[in-house]
Structure 1
Amino acid sequence: MSRRSLHTPAPDAATLRARLHRARQAAADAGTDALLIAPGSDLRYLIGQAGGSFERLTTLVIPAGDAPPALVVPKLEFPGYSDVPTDDLGVDVITWVDGDDPYRLVADRLGKPGRVAVSDMMAALHVLALRDAVAGAEQALAGPVLRELRMRKDAAEIAALRKAGEAIDRVHARMGEWLRAGRTEAQVGADIAAAIVEEGHTEAEFVIVGSGPNGASPHHDVSDRVIEPGDVVVVDIGGPIAEGYNSDSTRTYAVGEPRDADVADTYAVLQRAQQAAVEAVCPGVTAHAVDAAARDIITEAGFGEQFIHRTGHGIGLDVHEEPYIVGGNDLPLEPGMAFSVEPGIYQAGRWGARIEDIVVVTSDGAEPLNTRPHELVVVGS
């Protein structure tokens, strides 16, 4: 019956009020009558508490008009929102108990809207029940509305991302403690996960230790493969700090002298590509252009088919969020946008390499939030 709620630092009420106001205005500008925000990062952004998504409906109703927002929440879950300053935020609280129809409560609050937008990650059982309850209203995704708020980080958000970046850098600085021949990826990964918490995160959100041929799989996890002398190892790690903002950084290591003769030259190409992409970041430059800055170098060196993912993703309360640094995305970059720059080259069945920094767009360029060396770091064999 128990539900865990993380009571972690939240923005002050003035900041949250401003965010709610901007969300209301953004909904109106998008021709949407209301936003229905499920528990998760969007809810945390707007009221300072993420809550949890369960079979019982919890949703923040944000009308585009003058009516106040309302938090519709099961009575037994409401204690998890006790830190939310609902009175200061002007948010009504509507609790319900088992046997009530929460979807009807939402419908009654909305009246007869023509168009409502639901959280991108709202559970289908709630989306479909709301569709039935708010009959006649067009349903859309809230993501395109809220991304306009969340993409541009304020000073406090950037400070939190900087703190997260420093914490994950401290973990990478310790890699020689754990990464060596004779240990399995899983053993190394367990030590890294513990260090992620030790160095200031609330948890290890992900730990990738891709040794030898496993490094050619960008989203490899960990396995029982025993790390061998000469292996190239991709280590991609991150997690949230108490403020909710995430780290995400990748470095590539060699366990002793690399076994494959082509590692040095190929890795040098990757270094040039990653540096070129970071240097391309500037207000007004498109996400497409940053992707191209890395991709063109890798392609010209003959590895285009071995670079099999986008160059980067936005980061904040989610590890992956807008903006996405990918070909075809003509979004102009603006100060305050934060994202990864992480090209990779993957030699299937042999080895892979990736270099990843989080950067924030400044008034005239980019501030990298990760400062560990980009060279191929050799650790003890």
Structure 2
Amino acid sequence: MRVPAGSMRSGHLRGASPVLDIDSGAASNPAAAEWEAAGLRAPDMDAVRSWRLQQLRQQLEAEDLAGIVLFDPLNIRYATDATNMQVWTTHNPVRYAFVATDGPVVLFDLARCEHLVEHLPLIDEVRPATGWFFFENGPREAEAADRWADEIADLVRSHGRGSLRVGLDKCESLGLAALQRRGLDTVATMRTAELARYRKHPEEIAAMRRAVHAGQQAVWEMWHALEPGITEAQLWSQLHAGNIARGGEWVETRLLSSGPRTNPWFAECSHRVIEAGDLVCFDTDLIGPYGYAVDMSRSWVTPGREPTSQQQSLHSLGCEVLAHNCALLEPGLTFREFAERSYQLPDRYLPNRYADIAHGLGLSTEYPMIHYIQDWDAYGYDGVIEDSVVMCLEVYVGEPGGPVGVKLENQIYVADNGAEVLDTFPMSLTPH
């Protein structure tokens, strides 16, 4: 069933129930009182949605594209704000959207899910998706891919202003070949979406402030739960519970480790029992309210023993690195200049250095990723830090073979008037 523009409103679809956004029913959301107490106003999500679609279309115009087909759930959300089983659809490509550079926004979703987008006025049409992956179609996947390609090709010919040049953020080879057989000039355009998402509207920052605050409340709940005898997994579950209860959505990684498991970094949380005086390091990597990411790292000492001199030394160096690098952030600085001027870790810590010194953030980890200068020739790429972007600064400090390591990260809003640290949770081994 095709649902045209103007028909997706509460009460129009038989049996449809109103879709509540994050601010609806605020009295029942524990974050509502916390946001009010912190003086954090609600973002204007209509302004956010209009800005994001405008940014995407400006990028499509700049790259001379008739339109773009989006499969990545975060890109679909950026363009439409429509969500449906976000984690599951990262590996089951059953939803997609077509955004014409100068024409309609068409969302293809699971059948009988039109009610999920009744509140989103920028979607011109909703159609049932044609999934053509193996799970859904088995040996008939090529047949399904042809049906899918017929519909996409028709949209491009109808709304492409005479152009057959269409972008796709992600597409398996079967579908790509089907589009090309129909005469479309297909272009890989994950970069298009990433560049569109780079700069943030002030109302996006308002949404992100609320997401960060909610995430930090969950981090406080982790700290209050930390005591000898709790397992890493039990402690990590506090972050999940606090995020979900406040309208957050999911946590992308399992990066929490304790004691000897903190060196090297990237050990996922386990059932190890945390002991008094253990170092505990974590990276939130969560998707919070409004779909915005909260990406902060802290390292704590488990109550019951005082921090050791080694724990204090590693932590102090990590804090020094972040403070130095934060002071560098300003619009107009190139990525390479930032890498060259960033804090240079002592040689003994370089072999275990983190993958990047900074990266962008929005609906998740986003462009750019700025590498250490030592890795520049192998992986680095240049660009410019612009105004109204959000960057995360990261550092890991731990010697190869050392007993422990420290992971720290701040989430920074870069504007014309300077850099602002959005996460205000204490940068302390024993926060209070």
Deviation at 1:279, TM superposition (A): 0.9
Structure 2 counterpart of 1:189: 236
In the alignment, structure 1 segments of 5+ residues that lack a partner are: none
SS at match of 1:309: coil
Structure 2 counterpart of 1:78: 114
In the alignment, structure 2 segments of 5+ residues that lack a partner are: 1-17, 23-42, 132-142, 373-379
Deviation at 1:287, TM superposition (A): 3.0
Contact 2:69–2:167 (8 Å) recurs in 1: yes
Structure 1 counterpart of 2:377: none
Out of 274, 278, 288, the position equivalent to 2:336 is 288
* 1:109-132 per-position Cα deviation (integer Å, ceiling 9, x unaligned): 223855321124x5x2xx522431
Deviation at 1:72, TM superposition (A): 3.9
Structure 1 CA distance, aligned partners of 2:264 and 2:53?
Answer: 41
Structure 2 counterpart of 1:306: 352
Deviation at 1:40, TM superposition (A): 1.0
Alignment of 1:84-99 (within 5 A): 84-85=120-121, 89=122, 91-95=124-128
> Are 1:233 and 2:270 an aligned pair?
no
Structure 1 counterpart of 2:96: 59
Q: Would the alpha carbon gap of residues 80 and 340 (structure 1) be closer, same or farther in structure 2, given more than 3 Å must change?
A: same
Structure 1 counterpart of 2:201: 154
* 1:40-94 per-position Cα deviation (integer Å, ceiling 9, x unaligned): 1111111121335386754322233x44343344543434333332xxx372444
SS at match of 2:287: coil
SS at match of 1:343: strand
Out of 359, 368, 389, the position equivalent to 1:323 is 368
> Are 1:117 and 2:167 an aligned pair?
yes
> Are 1:374 and 2:374 an aligned pair?
no
TM-score by length of 1: 0.83
Structure 1 CA distance, aligned partners of 2:245 and 2:48?
Answer: 30
Alignment of 1:129-140 (within 5 A): 129-135=175-181, 136-140=183-187
Structure 2 CA distance, aligned partners of 1:378 and 1:322?
Answer: 31
> Are 1:351 and 2:404 an aligned pair?
yes
Structure 2 counterpart of 1:333: 385
- Which amino acid in the other structure matches residue 232 of structure 1? L
Structure 2 CA distance, aligned partners of 1:29 and 1:160?
Answer: 28
Q: Would the alpha carbon gap of residues 22 and 183 (structure 1) be closer, same or farther in structure 2, given more than 3 Å must change?
A: closer
TM-score by length of 2: 0.74
- Size of the aligned set, in residue pairs, is 363
Q: Which has the higher helix share?
A: 2
Contact 1:344–1:354 (8 Å) recurs in 2: yes
* 1:83-107 per-position Cα deviation (integer Å, ceiling 9, x unaligned): 332xxx3724444689982321111
* 1:211-267 per-position Cα deviation (integer Å, ceiling 9, x unaligned): 0122124332211112123321102224233311121211111122345x5333232
Q: Would the alpha carbon gap of residues 190 and 174 (structure 1) be closer, same or farther in structure 2, given more than 3 Å must change?
A: closer
Structure 2 CA distance, aligned partners of 1:333 and 1:32?
Answer: 26
Structure 2 CA distance, aligned partners of 1:192 and 1:277?
Answer: 27
Deviation at 1:7, TM superposition (A): 5.6
- Which amino acid in the other structure matches residue 112 of structure 2? L
- Which amino acid in the other structure matches residue 248 of structure 2? H
SS at match of 2:248: coil
Out of 283, 287, 292, the position equivalent to 1:245 is 292
Structure 1 CA distance, aligned partners of 2:323 and 2:93?
Answer: 48
* 1:136-175 per-position Cα deviation (integer Å, ceiling 9, x unaligned): 4343222211222211110111011111222222233344
Structure 2 CA distance, aligned partners of 1:109 and 1:67?
Answer: 10
Structure 1 CA distance, aligned partners of 2:154 and 2:431?
Answer: 63
Q: Would the alpha carbon gap of residues 244 and 103 (structure 1) be closer, same or farther in structure 2, given more than 3 Å must change?
A: same
Structure 2 counterpart of 1:8: 21
Q: Would the alpha carbon gap of residues 311 and 70 (structure 1) be closer, same or farther in structure 2, given more than 3 Å must change?
A: same
Q: CA RMSD in A?
A: 3.1
SS at match of 1:262: helix
Structure 2 counterpart of 1:214: 261
Structure 1 CA distance, aligned partners of 2:19 and 2:266?
Answer: 28
SS at match of 1:49: coil
Q: Would the alpha carbon gap of residues 308 and 33 (structure 1) be closer, same or farther in structure 2, given more than 3 Å must change?
A: same
Deviation at 1:303, TM superposition (A): 1.7
Out of 36, 43, 64, the position equivalent to 2:69 is 36
Contact 2:358–2:369 (8 Å) recurs in 1: yes
Q: Would the alpha carbon gap of residues 182 and 196 (structure 1) be closer, same or farther in structure 2, given more than 3 Å must change?
A: same
Structure 2 CA distance, aligned partners of 1:96 and 1:146?
Answer: 21
